[in-house]
Amino acid sequence: MSAPFGMHVRFTAQPGHGDALAAILLEAAAALGAVEACRLYVVSRSPDDPDTIWVTEAWTDADAHAASLQDEATKAAIARAMPLIAGRPEATRLLPAGGKGL
């Protein structure tokens, strides 16, 4: 059996584009509601910086996460989001051990 896969990703939007980027990420969260392999996808906003957005994800395994990135709707959302992102997102890979939502 594959190990659970998760990550925390910090996105910094181009100045003044935090709301637009968060909206795209929230659309992604809604679309993942039907994806059973996605256990958790939470979009959070920084209380101190409106252009900083965090996404916390948990998946059944890394392959399920990788497969989700091949979905045409996901690719389209990424293409819409990329011009709004300043620099490279900062991602920390996690191995979810359990808890509420998993």
User: Rounded to a whole number, what is the distance in angstroms from the first to the last CA of the chain?
Assistant: 16
For residue 99, the model assigns a pLDDT of: 86
Answer yes or no: is 5 within a domain: no
- pLDDT tens digits for range 45-100: 999 999 999 999 999 999 999 999 999 999 999 999 999 999 999 999 999 988 88
Answer yes or no: is 53 within a domain: no
Answer yes or no: is 94 within a domain: no
Answer yes or no: is 18 within a domain: yes
Domain that holds residue 76: 13-46+60-88
Q: How many domains does the chain have?
A: 1
Answer yes or no: is 98 within a domain: no
Reported as type and span, the H/E element at residue 10 is strand 5-12
- What is the residue-wise DSSP string for 30-94? HHGGG-TTEEEEEEEE-SS-TTEEEEEEEES-HHHHHHHTTSHHHHHHHHHHGGGB-S--EEEEE
Answer yes or no: is 95 within a domain: no
For residue 25, the model assigns a pLDDT of: 97
